[in-house]
Chain A
């Protein structure tokens, strides 16, 4: 049972345009969400996060939107650059899941290709 779903395995976007990566979750206990960027055989790099008390968080070219009622979040990258080409993972945490433990549940990832 996949609790975090990224339904698009891949996405191609023209350089300079907006990239929108989507993520859905099923577990109502999730209250903190993170996006990571990952290259093959390397560790995920933290991009941006949002807690469930917010519906938007912005950091430079990256904006994350959270729709709690729909259990949906999205990552917007504007403008997209060729260096953004990577696999993007959505991750969710239940916050304090057992004595302050932060366990991440990941989606399967979306491979973003930004075409020059």
Chain B
């Protein structure tokens, strides 16, 4: 059974640009959530989607957004990138209480 798949794995963007990250959950999982990991703040919850609806949102500015498609695949977008947005962005999927993570997308903003 394939795990959570994230693309791209690595990317470099310039300050002010926008970026879109993609996530394919484990087959059958309908909940997809996103987390940001930085050295200073650790792993922090961004938002969670279920059946194409955002169910929960963390404490991040409106520049961070996401969506989920009817096949449960999800994308997250960060607009007007700042240097501080450099981080590992992790997608996770779940059926219930156990949450499984993908390998992450490493974003560097220069």
Contacts and interface: CB of A to CB of B under 8 A. Distances in A.
A80 interface: no
A106 B106 contact: no
Contact of B104 (A43, A99, A108): A43
Contacts of A108: 42
A104 B45 contact: yes
A43 B4 contact: yes
Contacts, number: 70
9 contacts: A42-B103, A43-B4, A44-B101, A46-B99, A89-B43, A93-B97, A98-B55, A103-B45, A103-B56
User: Considering the complex of A and B, which 4 residue pairs feature the smallest CB-CB distances, nearest first?
Assistant: A43-B101, A101-B56, A106-B43, A101-B55
B58 interface: yes
B10 to A, nearest CB: 9
Interface residues of B, number: 28
Interface of B: 4, 6, 31, 33, 35, 42-45, 48, 50, 55-56, 58, 88, 90, 92, 94, 96-104, 106
Contacts of B88: 41
Contact of B42 (A36, A101, A109): A109
Contacts of A101: 31, 48, 50, 55-56
Interface string A72-102: 0000000000000000010101010111111
A34 interface: yes
Contacts of B43: 44, 89, 91, 104, 106
B56 A95 contact: no
A103 B35 CA distance: 10
